[in-house]
Structure 1
Amino acid sequence: MKRYATLAGRPAAVRRPPLGSPLLILLLACSFALAGYAGVRLLAGDWFGVTLWFVGAALLHDLVLVPLYAGADRVLAQGLRAVGRREWTLYVRVPAAFSCLLLLLWFPLISGQMADRYRSATGLPGDGFLSRWLLITAVLFGGSAVLLALRLRRATKERPPVDQ
């Protein structure tokens, strides 16, 4: 088994560059330049509408969505703790988070509200997004279930036999 030099419990291969290093400053400058360019391009057309959309999205997220998914996560964790399976929480939390994120991003097309507009803008059919989202959600939860089953199988193999 190879041993790696560690720094504060972290392998040397994944150490962060020191704070204030030229590489870090260059990366930050490039990211700020890219964000500034995107902001200028985005606000060039309808700056008031874009600003209103950002403020509305931030308020909707912070005042409505955060309490909703925090409450759902709390119910999930308490339910799994009640049945003695608290360690299974991540196997539900991760695919649910990705599925909800996809639903949030593609909701107008998944709900079918923008199918005609999508068809006129792209020339492609606007239907089928709901079935694709459901398929992706099933694959995410199925993959998570397979990973959980592999973890449980490995844990039972590593357990010492019970003497009778």
Structure 2
Amino acid sequence: MSGATAFRRRYGASPLHLLLVLASFALTAYAGTRLLKGDAVGVALWFVGAALLHDLVLLPLYSVLDRGAQLPGAPWPSVNYVRVPAFVSGLLLLVWWPLVLRRVGHYTATTGLPAGGFLGRWLLITAALFAASAATLLVRRWHASGPARRAARRRRRDRGTPR
């Protein structure tokens, strides 16, 4: 039995997997030390506040909305056409919220770029995501209804011709 096979049996994955996991831990530790170097208390408060906001407010809110969208008789047949653009839009807002809400005063001084316009761009991207999702839903419904449309056309054609 080779050493790699014995390692895989004991560890459960290849040695490359272990190397990548250890490298990711090292990168995370480095990023954490760099992050906490400036304002450790502020960062800790932000993490605790974000966890509490997510777990106590946002998670119940979007869970209820998602369950409501899945109820029988909901206005849309596939909730994923709403979920995906909402998730991407929310993720973009999460990443760029200081700029979207104009909460960063030092942005222009640091980058030399104007801080305005992010709200409009985020709204346009969100609208485009939902429009693309709606177009995808319409195209898929159109293609799915193809056999039914062809059958109805045949029935109309057969009724119109004498036998």
Do these two structures clear the TM 0.5 threshold for a shared fold by scoring above it?
yes
Aligned to 1:99: 89
Q: Is residue 58 of structure 2 the alignment partner of residue 65 of structure 1? A: yes
2:68/2:74 contact within 8 Å kept: no
**Aligned partners of 2:94, 2:16: CA distance in 1, in Å?**
35
CA apart distance, 1:135: 0.8
Aligned pair in 2 of structure 1 residues 149, 19: CA closer, same or farther (>3 Å)?
farther
Normalised TM-score (structure 1)? 0.75
Aligned to 1:111: 101
**Aligned partners of 1:54, 1:75: CA distance in 2, in Å?**
30
Structure 1: 5+ residue runs without aligned partners? Answer: 1-17
Residue 89 of structure 1 aligns to which amino acid in structure 2? Answer: V
Q: When the two structures are aligned, how many residues end up with a matched partner?
A: 143
Structure 2: 5+ residue runs without aligned partners? Answer: 1-10, 156-163
Aligned to 1:36: 29
Percent identity over the alignment is 52
Aligned pair in 2 of structure 1 residues 83, 66: CA closer, same or farther (>3 Å)?
closer
Matches within 5 A, 1:5-84: 19-78=12-71, 81-83=72-74
Q: Is residue 129 of structure 2 the alignment partner of residue 136 of structure 1? A: no
RMSD value, Cα:
2.3
Residue 97 of structure 1 aligns to which amino acid in structure 2? Answer: F
CA apart distance, 1:45: 2.4
**Aligned partners of 2:111, 2:121: CA distance in 1, in Å?**
18
Normalised TM-score (structure 2)? 0.76
| Displacement over 4 Å in runs of 4+ | none
CA apart distance, 1:48: 2.5
**Aligned partners of 1:106, 1:98: CA distance in 2, in Å?**
12
Question: Which range moved further: 39-48 or 134-143?
Answer: 39-48
Q: Which has the higher helix share?
A: 2
Larger Rg: 2
**Aligned partners of 1:84, 1:100: CA distance in 2, in Å?**
22
Aligned partner of residue 115 in structure 2, secondary structure: coil
